[in-house]
Chains A and B, each alone.
Chain A
Amino acid sequence: MSPNLARRDLLKLGGGALAASWVLAACGSSDSSSGSSSGGAADPKNVTYWAAFATPEGQKYFQQHFVDAFNKSQKNVSVKMDVKQLMTLGQLTNTAVAAGKGADVVYADGPSAALSFAKSSKTVALDEYATKYKWQDKLLPWAYDVSKVDGKLYSVPVGYGSLVLYYNPETFTKNGWKVPTTLAEFEKVCAEAKSKGMIPVGAGNSGYKAQTEWYLTCVLNAAVGPKALHEALTGARKWDDKVFVDAITLVKSWIDKGWWGGSADRYFTNTDTDMFTGLANGKVAMYMSGTWSFDSADTFFTDGKKWDWAPLPSLSDAVPAGVYPLAIGTTLSVNAKSEAPAAAAEFIDYMIADPSRMLGMLAATGTNPAPLKIDPSAYPAEVDERVARLYKAIPETKNLGYASWSFVPPKTDTYLYTEFDKVVTGGMSPADFCAGLQKAFAEELASGSVPKPFTPEA
């Protein structure tokens, strides 16, 4: 075997041989109908798109206002959307794309996953379309930059959000607390909540292990700060630097005090649902989580109860309060196997072309919008005040940070949320954790798997 056999060729080789030797046996009738998902050359061009939604309302709205509306708006392209499950879409797309299949419009759950597809030539460069549709003028600069690989655009971000501090105003009023903005205030609320038998900070990774990276993203941005993170992401600072070890040590001390999730062992049995339910009934004081829960949080707060959010507090003197870690949760690319790449790009453009369409969905369903340049006055009045507040705040602030799954490469990201378990149980010291992090990151930095982070302004 040639030692540098590309996988594509290998599949051709292996698959071809398999097919040749077994196709006869396999119930002869199965005529190889090359069955590409992207349809034939006939007009209109068929484009497939796999999507997943956090709520059924979101799905219905998208089908109606994006897919159906697009199909009606022109005669050249017909989009067919297949709805998958939120928890499986990423892996499903990976498997299909690796096997040379998958939809024409390829979903990825963030720039770093999109980068993997681009690096292995599973998706195509979109610069031609970016120029044609003027995407650089439409997208926020940081989002456009992080979608580029070796100077070429390979994906388009269509959903972004941040991480914030969720709380129940009723609980805070009842206990006479004020929403914390500094480390001292934060620890004071934690201590009082703990003494009242509450869970001070909601945390847990039962059901979805990667939840850990939500919490770590919050802590790293709020305690270490975007500037140091940017240095680490570009290789200028090591991940086993003292600032990172201190941040992890801080979290560990909170876990040991029972502030995080209640206790170390509870961390492994708490679910996201438990934490929101706890917020609603006053058993959880605060919860640092993502804004993707904006559209589902209401379902936990019934009988007139309300949730609200505040920017993350500062968790060290070096970082100003109110950092917004930026997270791109959905990116779209064009499959290298697509027979109608131009048509696929046209559909991607339709999603982001008109900000009012995206804002309409935000108003109706709370779904995280694409990172578009939008004038604050453009937000329709129907958008929930809490949601609008976030998306108006982000373009105004200079204190923007990095969500791990958007800016950290895959192996390092997996390390973050699998190995942190050991810090929780006490089986690994914060220093060792950070040393391992540095080791994983250095390898991926060398192999070019790290997306390009924006430069912090603050």
Chain B
Amino acid sequence: MIKTSARPPARRRRRVARGKLTAWLFIAPLLIVNVLVIAGPGLMSVYYSFTDWDGLDQADFVWFSNYTDLIGDPDFRRALLHNLLWTVFFLVVPMSMGLLGAFLLSRIRRGQLLFRVLFFIPYVIATVVSATVWRQILSPTSGIGPALSNLGIPLLDDVNFLGDGDIALGAVAFINNWQWWGFLVVIFLAAMQGIEPSLYEAARMDGAGAWREFWNITLPSIRPTFMFLSLMTVIWSFLVFDYVYILTQGGPAGSTDVLSTVMYRAAFSEQQAGYASAIGVMLALISAGTVCGYLYLRRRLRWDI
């Protein structure tokens, strides 16, 4: 199992071997279910991405033609751009709101429970319901715009958030953020529970204000969680589907199309499952690239996550 040039004493070798076995046993359940459900069928998708499979029967091998089609497809390129914009938005807005909420919550005691529940409620609601509620609120005929107008505030008159191609993507992202940031609060707060209170005590003795405490203690202490959530934000931003699909289905005229809606349409409406598989593989490749880039940075900068 292990090869070392200098033969270690038998007892130590046995212990190391047993340690390895224990490690494998601990991680085995995860690997088993994951390989069964994701890796296997995922590899099938890779195969399909080289075929012209229609989703039902015919699957002729077409080599890379799906991929070359992808590169020339303006819908794909635009969707990719939207995913990138989405990533930037989600790395900035919800992360800041999540950190702010969690940090403030960690500093108060009275009412902490209440706030935490209030922040988390949007995350509990099923997507189809919250998306619809927001669609009603943003309706140009009966939503917030006309309501303000009735109150004499013509601020949002004739703003059609989800119907105007220039702002629809932002509107969908805003709605998704509404559900998302509270989730980040809960996770950041859980991470902040692990910070030893003495660190703050020490800082306070040095006369540090809230801002400095946040930069010097809170953020470094939860950095593993922060980095991890940033990484997941990138991955999830490329997978985003639910809100776009329910609110606009990629419309108006593709102005909110993201990779997953293009993929979904190819697979289920246009009977181009092979092409859809190629989009899926591209998604995974983009994520793999991001992760590798991150791992490289980590090694370079000697981060501990």
Contact = CB atoms under 8 A, between A and B. Distances in A.
Asked whether the complex places CB atoms of A and B closer than 8 A, the reply is: yes
Nearest to B28: A25
Contacts of B252: 265, 267-268, 421, 424-425
A3 B269 CA distance: 25
Interface in B159-177: 160, 162-165, 168
Interface in B130-167: 135, 139-141, 160, 162-165
A120 B251 contact: no
Nearest to A212: B251
Contacts of A116: 54, 56, 271
Contacts of B58: 6-7, 120
A206 interface: yes
Nearest to A15: B44
B291 interface: no
A393 interface: no
Interface stretch (A73-81, A91-99, A287-295, A302-310): A91-99
A425 B164 CA distance: 9
A5 interface: yes
Interface stretch (B15-23, B32-40, B81-89): B32-40
B254 interface: yes
A265 B139 CA distance: 11
Interface string B235-257: 00000000000001111111000
B271 A411 contact: yes
Nearest to A271: B135
Secondary structure call for the B interface: loop
B253 A427 contact: yes
A422 B53 contact: no
B123 interface: no
Contacts of B160: 265-266, 268-269
B268 interface: yes
A414 B251 CA distance: 14
A122 B250 CA distance: 31
28 contacts: A3-B60, A6-B57, A7-B56, A7-B58, A10-B47, A22-B32, A94-B55, A94-B56, A94-B268, A98-B57, A116-B54, A117-B56, A120-B56, A120-B58, A206-B135, A206-B162, A206-B248, A265-B140, A265-B163, A267-B163, A268-B160, A269-B160, A269-B163, A418-B254, A421-B252, A421-B253, A422-B253, A424-B252
A64 interface: no
Contacts of B223: none
Given A117-B56, A265-B164, A424 B253 contact: yes
B217 interface: no
Interface of B: 32, 35-36, 40-41, 44, 47, 53-61, 135, 139-141, 160, 162-165, 168, 248-254, 265, 268-272
Contacts, number: 113
Given A7-B57, A7-B59, A274 B141 contact: yes
Contacts of A7: 53, 56-59
A268 B248 contact: yes
B162 A121 contact: no
A209 B47 CA distance: 31
Prevailing SS type, chain A contact patch: helix
Contacts of B250: 418
B265 A418 contact: yes
A404 B59 CA distance: 27
A26 interface: yes
A14 interface: yes
A156 to B, nearest CB: 20
Given A418-B254, A427-B253, 17 more contacts: A5-B59, A7-B56, A14-B44, A26-B32, A94-B56, A121-B57, A209-B251, A265-B252, A266-B140, A267-B163, A268-B248, A269-B135, A410-B271, A411-B270, A421-B251, A421-B253, A421-B254
Contact of B253 (A25, A97, A425): A425
B56 A410 contact: no
A458 interface: no
A134 interface: no
Of residues A205, A209, A274, which shows the largest number of chain B Cβ atoms within 10 Å of its Cβ? A209
Chain A, interface residues (CB within 8 Å), range: 35 or more
A418 B250 CA distance: 9
Interface of A: 1, 3-8, 10, 14, 18, 22, 25-26, 91, 94, 97-98, 116-117, 119-122, 205-206, 209, 262, 265-269, 274, 410-411, 414, 418, 421-422, 424-425, 427-428
B46 to A, nearest CB: 11
Contact of B40 (A8, A18, A206, A428): A18
Given A206-B162, A265-B160, A266-B140, A122 B251 contact: no
Which 4 residue pairs are nearest across A and B when measured between Cβ atoms? A120-B57, A265-B163, A421-B253, A268-B163
B162 A268 contact: yes
Given A1-B61, A3-B60, A425 B268 contact: no
A10 B160 CA distance: 48
A183 B168 CA distance: 35
Nearest to A412: B270
A421 B249 CA distance: 11
Nearest to B161: A269
Contacts of B32: 22, 25-26
B271 A122 contact: no
Contacts of A14: 44, 47
Contact of B55 (A18, A26, A98, A421): A98
B139 to A, nearest CB: 6
B35 A22 contact: yes
A412 to B, nearest CB: 10
Contacts of A3: 60-61
A98 B59 CA distance: 12
B59 A10 contact: yes
Contacts of A410: 269-271
B149 to A, nearest CB: 15
Contacts of A268: 160, 162-163, 168, 248, 251-252
A199 to B, nearest CB: 9
A98 B253 contact: no
B141 A266 contact: yes
